[in-house]
Amino acid sequence: MAGNWKMYKTPSETRAFFEQFAPAVKGVTDRDIVICPPFVDITTAVEAATSTRIEIGGQNLYWETKDGAYTGEINGRMLRECGARWVIIGHSERRQYFHERDETVYKRTVAALESGLMPIVCVGEVLGDREGGRTEAVLGEQFANGIARLSLDQFRRIVIAYEPVWAIGTGRTATPEIAAEAHRFIRHQAREKFQNEQVRILYGGSVKPDNIQGLMAQQEIDGVLVGGASLDPASFASIVNF
Ligand code: PGA
Q: What is the pTM of this model?
A: 0.97
Residue 197 is predicted with a pLDDT of: 86
> Under CATH, which number does the domain 2-240 receive?
3.20.20.70
34 has a pLDDT exceeding 90: yes
Check residue 70 and give its pLDDT: 97
What is the DSSP annotation of the chain?
-EEE--S---HHHHHHHHHHHHHHTTT--SS-EEEE--GGGHHHHHHHTTTSSEEEEES---S--S--S-TT---HHHHHHTT--EEEES-HHHHHHS---HHHHHHHHHHHHHTT-EEEEEE---HHHHHTT-HHHHHHHHHHHTGGGS-HHHHTT-EEEE--GGGSSSS-PPPHHHHHHHHHHHHHHHHHHTTT---EEEEESS--TTTHHHHHTSTT--EEEESGGGSSHHHHHHHHT-
Q: Is 228 in the pocket of ligand 1 (CB under 6 A)?
A: yes
Could you tell me the residue ranges of all domains in the chain?
A: 2-240
Which atom of ligand 1 lies at the shortest distance from residue 171's CA?
5
Task: With a cut of 90, say whether residue 39 has pLDDT above it.
Answer: yes
Atom of ligand 1 nearest to the CA of 92: 8
Distance 85 CA to ligand 1 centre (A): 20
Look at residue 76 and tell me whether its pLDDT is greater than 90.
yes
**Per-residue confidence (pLDDT) for residue 155, from 0 to 100:** 97
- What pLDDT was estimated at residue 170? 86
Q: Which atom of ligand 1 is nearest to the CA of 225?
A: 9
Closest among 232, 163, 169 to 9, alpha carbons compared = 232
pLDDT tens digit sequence for 92-142: 999 999 999 999 999 999 999 999 999 999 999 999 999 999 999 999 999
User: For residue range 184-234, what is the model confidence (pLDDT) as tens digits?
Assistant: 999 999 999 998 889 999 999 999 999 999 999 999 999 999 999 999 999
Check pocket membership of 205 for ligand 1, CB cut-off 6 A.
Answer: yes
Alpha carbon 44 to its chain centroid, in Å, reads 20
Q: Please give the Cα distance from 71 to 113 (Å, whole number).
A: 22
Q: How confident is the model at residue 169 (pLDDT cuts 50, 70, 90)?
A: confident
Neighbouring-strand partners of residue 123: 162
CA-based nearest residue to 141, from 176, 180, 95, 98: 95
pLDDT value of position 196: 82
Handedness of CA 202, 129, 173, 226 (dihedral sign): positive
Half-sphere exposure of 229 (CA within 13 A, CB side): 25
Cα(192) to centroid of ligand 1, in Å? 29
What's the pLDDT band for 171 if we cut at 50, 70, 90?
confident
Active-site annotation holder among 55, 93, 125, 163: 163
User: What are the DSSP calls for 143-180, one per residue?
Assistant: HHHTGGGS-HHHHTT-EEEE--GGGSSSS-PPPHHHHH
- pLDDT, one tens digit per residue, over 56-75 is 999 999 999 999 999 999 99
